[in-house]
Amino acid sequence: MVSPILLLGPALTWLVIFLVFPLALIFVYSFLQRSPFGQIVFQPSLDNYLRLFNPTVLRVFLNSLRIAFIVTLLALLLGYPTAYFISSQPSRWKNTLLVLVILPFWTSYLIRTYAWIVLLNREGVLSRFLLGLGLIREPISFLYNDTAIVIGLLYGYLPFMVLPLYSSIERLSPELREASFDLGAPPLRTFWHITLPLTLRGIVTGAIFVFVPSLGNFFVPELLGGGQRFMIGNMINNQFLQARNWPYGSAMAFGVMAIVLALLFFQAWVTRRTEQV
């Protein structure tokens, strides 16, 4: 038997140094202050956290939560029927269809966001198309609003919804649905009372996989929102790279982490509950 230290040692050491220490460091920073020159001053207080509740910051937090929520909901509405469809295909098609869903995800998200700039800008494809149809009189930009941000985030994270949904739909035994049909339940009722509750775990996992990265993303709001619509990611980015108030930026980051942790606990709770059934 090989020693556990040899197997686990290298990776765990790496993660302690370059994950635990750095996170612990910004956690400490989040309680400190910065000097007028951007240096960190050791003056422990809760100020940075209290400042998260000032109206401007709070509004950005709430708006980010709202956008992430809309993205998640749309991803679920688009993703569930797609996952169901893939799962109902013969097995030689399933794999191909799944790869087609996940493939864009592994390619550069930045470039896929850029594609939407080409589509939605004033001189872009959509504007010209509508102009050609005579539906609009002069070029319109579809960028720089919340809708553009929602589209960009949905585009990027939709695969995250489809995959967990697919695997939980796949695990359903067809007998359950058949039994329900045989006992005379109409399809919609079978879906509502049998399929949906049994795939709840996939729904929650998918929702978290979409919600969390949507909440923290900063380049989609930057590129498609044109810096006019702010999300939490942009604020953290600003505090670190422009305003150089690292303690305040760190507190914002832990505001996000608190939301993420709450969601993960919720997921664990749902998983445990659905296992008992």
Site residues (CB under 8 A) for other proteins, limited to 12-51: 12, 14-15, 18-19, 21-23, 25-26, 29
Candidate list 35, 54, 91, 108; residue touching other proteins; CB under 8 A: 108
190 binds other proteins (CB under 8 A): no
- Residue (of 100, 212, 202, 102) closest to 153 by Cα position: 212
C-beta separation of 136 from 130 below 8 A: yes
On the 0-12 / 13-18 / 19+ scale of CB atoms within 10 A, 26 is middle
Tokens 């509502």 belong to 192
Residue 114 C-beta: closest distance to other proteins, Å: 5
Residue 20 C-beta: closest distance to other proteins, Å: 9
Residue 55 C-beta: closest distance to other proteins, Å: 23
4 binds other proteins (CB under 8 A): yes
- Residue (of 126, 157, 144) closest to 223 by Cα position: 144
| Phi and psi, residue 138, nearest 5° | -135, 160
136 binds other proteins (CB under 8 A): no
For other proteins (CB under 8 A), the number of binding residues is 83
| Phi and psi, residue 79, nearest 5° | -80, -35
Neighbours of 145 (CB within 10 A): 15
Binding track, positions 217-236, relative to other proteins; x by CB under 8 A: xxx--xx---------x--x
Choices 51-59, 119-127, 172-180, 192-200 (CB under 8 A): range interacting with other proteins? 119-127
> What residues from 154 to 173 belong to the interface with other proteins (CB under 8 A)?
155, 158-159, 163-164, 167
34 beta partners: 40
93 binds other proteins (CB under 8 A): no
